[in-house]
Amino acid sequence: GEDVEQSLFLSVREGDSSVINCTYTDSSSTYLYWYKQEPGAGLQLLTYIFSNMDMKQDQRLTVLLNKKDKHLSLRIADTQTGDSAIYFCAESNRYSGGGADGLTFGKGTHLIIQP
Amino acid sequence: GAVVSQHPSRVICKSGTSVKIECRSLDFQATTMFWYRQFPKQSLMLMATSNEGSKATYEQGVEKDKFLINHASLTLSTLTVTSAHPEDSSFYICSARPHTYNEQFFGPGTRLTVL
């Protein structure tokens, strides 16, 4: 079945860049997402990328996709204490009725910010 | 915009009782809603996909008679956990997606504890 893998923890110094990596197995994945979950809060969509793209940038966030290796990464530039959270990688296929299907999530990466 | 609410946020019930969880899209119409389950320190697992006015589609291994899903309007879906048992204790999260969108908007989740 489909599988999404992420490392469980990443520790970075405040001001450095954070790079969170994700691998997936479903070659038919159409959409790839990054979500952020803060304690006690719901999932917040950070960004997503179509499988026919290899990069997407949005302010401090850069997503890189290597479709051949089924590898997705999220780079957060100038990491701040407010970036401390769990980051989930997710993938989905195209829904038959249009739009994206239900998501398959990784286990999440805890981003820890050191002062 | 794109706010999804869930009610209740927490529920504790006795074994054998049924519990209903509501998921509402507050400022948009959601033709499709998804229900996920998250165990402690685990990823979110898709349980079912529900389209307004039609029967829900359940993922493999999810008992449809145990987890009743109703999506009677474009802004409301309900999940009823019937004859709940302690192993049903979990964090249940819904998401809602406007027609043909690639993004899903997540509710804050409902913590179910079955004694």
CA distance A35 to A82: 15
| Residue % of chain A over a pLDDT of 90 | 70
- CB contact under 8 Å between B109 and A88, yes or no, is no
Say what the pLDDT of residue B91 is: 94
- Band of residue A47 on the pLDDT scale cut at 50, 70, 90: very high
- Band of residue A95 on the pLDDT scale cut at 50, 70, 90: low
Measured between CA atoms, how close is A32 to chain B, in angstroms?
10
A9 touches chain B (CB under 8 A): no
B51 touches chain A (CB under 8 A): yes
Q: Is the pLDDT reported for residue A82 higher than 90? A: yes
Ranges of beta strands (E only) in chain B are 4-7, 10-13, 19-25, 32-38, 44-51, 57-58, 67-73, 76-81, 90-97, 105-106, 110-114
Q: Can you list the residues of chain B whose pLDDT is less than 70? A: 1
- Band of residue A34 on the pLDDT scale cut at 50, 70, 90: very high
Measured between CA atoms, how close is B3 to chain A, in angstroms?
11
B43 touches chain A (CB under 8 A): yes
A88 touches chain B (CB under 8 A): yes
Among candidates A24, A31, A43, A26, which has minimal Cα distance to A88?
A43
| Residue % of chain B over a pLDDT of 70 | 98
Q: Which residue in A88, A102, A108 is closest to B34 by CB distance? A: A102
Say what the pLDDT of residue A93 is: 80
- CB contact under 8 Å between B104 and A88, yes or no, is no
From the number of C-beta atoms within 10 Å of its C-beta (0-12, 13-18, 19+), residue B99 rates as middle
Q: Is the pLDDT reported for residue A96 higher than 80? A: no
- Residues of chain A in contact with residue B108, where contact means CB-CB under 8 angstroms, are 41-42
Instruction: Compare B42 and A98 and report the one with higher pLDDT.
Output: B42
